Chains A and B, each alone.
Chain A
């Protein structure tokens, strides 16, 4: 299948008073039509910046596209004019933001906010746009949509606002939906509703979804493929089964082990990743995970590993995958915590 979106070697810096922050330092991934990609990583790893870069929502300055390309359907988005971006934004690619409480305009009726993007992108009568917005509200499961169209965001609860946001994003039937932590601000029972909704929508409309999250549970639930980011770089990517069952990068392994599992013995301490992520003002010279890595070697300090294919499209950036490193791996099997990852090396 041809890819819908391709991000190649993307580098983004922010100019601040304190110096240049290297927020995204070489990100590569692609999204195929109709698939769901999960981007996981801790706060500050550059996942939201990557998402906003695709939509070209980063204010420049301070943001600077240093290098790389973002190709959507053959169009280079970085080079695209603002006019072209306006056509694409909301129409072809749309975005759901994390916080439904602050992302809606409090002074405008919800129905109007949904109709706005329809009217902007299509030659359509208001009546038609109204009906389309109404249908979309029904699609996202909002009861009494006629009444809701006339209400303001403050009359909506958190879950309903997120549904309204999803309706806004879907009303023009985009080919790509970017969801930036869509359920983080919601309760688990509401999160379950929204996840079911996103699954249904994808089945019906074949929209490709980029889901940005730090919750591995959510990823396991709805993603086809996963991209793991750390300190502005992709450290591993593969299908959801590969990432959860045979993770190759120590960071992915660490992430999986640090979440408690339901069937876990309580007397076993959790296996956190020691330390904290590096400062992106001056990222380390070698592998950025090296100071926190259980398997760190001398070379990790000196040289940054490249992304290598480790079979069936699973790629990872780690010196442990180098043939010369194999001998060392066997000795250092660390199986702390109740992680159920298959350490098959």
Chain B
């Protein structure tokens, strides 16, 4: 089977499955004085069971806000997120607490996201206590089990976070997220704070866990080569808006949106013999308080046209499974 056939098959397979998470027209504004900061605007996509969706974009593009709104750490300004077919924003606080067992988050900074005064047992056991799953000896056993699962020794159970390296701390964060057997995990830049050789360890672990436990990931990152490696499909965001969404190979080999193209060409490739024409974007990301009219990317777009400033490009399926919002493809 050629690679393309393999991936078309994979796509069909995914389509047959039910979406685990459906994001419908999700928006999140923050009020800044009298104005609104449009962090996320009109997100629309599905995540199928067992897949990994990568979410990429530059800092300030709203990818973390999107992830946090999707698990209801923020209340949305507009839109809905259906988890297993039900809108999570309709749940009462009590009902939401139950749903949270299935939805977990892995944080970016392994140094700041673990309480320095708690032992590993307390950190990983906390979700078990809060949800009243197990107590006493059974809890300790479960924590030991989780430690083994993420590749740490059960002997580490009484240690404090400062006794671990960055990679090991991130493993503790992962174990904590796994404690309640979740179905869906939002990984918010889980590897950006780690060294290169350690990044690969954590990515391999995440992939292994996905296979063994049938997890579904939303993988937020700014490193496109790592995102491409771990994701089945990738969503590219810019200034709170969706730019392009497709399976990862198509997106990286045959990108449609000028922003995706620029983003791809900006990645430094560890190959000194490679000569390429780089698209260097001029200027910087505009302020989300006062985004440009029409297409938000037009101020930096090398192929901007007149129409781009007057109307917002529609989100449309250009090829099967390949969505893009750009006037070039109208």
Which residues of A approach B to under 8 Å, CB–CB? 42-43, 157, 159-160, 187-193, 195-196, 214-221, 240-241, 244-245, 254-256, 258-262, 264, 266, 269-274, 276, 337, 340
Contact = CB atoms under 8 A, between A and B. Distances in A.
Contacts of B225: 259-262
Given A217-B267, A220-B268, A220-B271, A258 B196 contact: yes
Name the 6 nearest CB pairs between A and B, nearest first: A217-B268, A272-B200, A260-B229, A270-B200, A273-B197, A192-B266
A276 B226 contact: no
B266 A214 contact: no
Interface stretch (B67-75, B178-186, B272-280): B272-280
17 contacts: A42-B195, A43-B195, A187-B58, A188-B266, A193-B281, A215-B268, A217-B269, A241-B273, A244-B272, A255-B196, A258-B196, A260-B228, A262-B267, A262-B269, A269-B204, A272-B199, A340-B271
Contact of A220 (B224, B269, B285): B269
B226 A260 contact: yes
Interface of B is mostly: helix
B218 to A, nearest CB: 17
| B interface bracket (residues with beta carbon within 8 Å of A) | 35 or more
A160 B285 CA distance: 12
Contacts of A264: 229
Contacts of A240: 272
B145 to A, nearest CB: 22
Interface of B: 58-59, 165, 167-168, 195-201, 203-204, 207, 222, 224-226, 228-230, 248, 252, 262-263, 265-274, 278, 280-281, 284-285
A294 to B, nearest CB: 13
A244 B270 contact: yes
B228 A276 contact: no
Contacts of A157: 284
Nearest to B7: A266
Contact of B266 (A189, A271, A272, A276): A189
A188 B168 contact: no
Contact of B203 (A193, A218, A270): A270
Nearest to A270: B200
Contacts of B262: 189
Given A260-B226, A272-B204, A276-B165, A196 B280 contact: yes
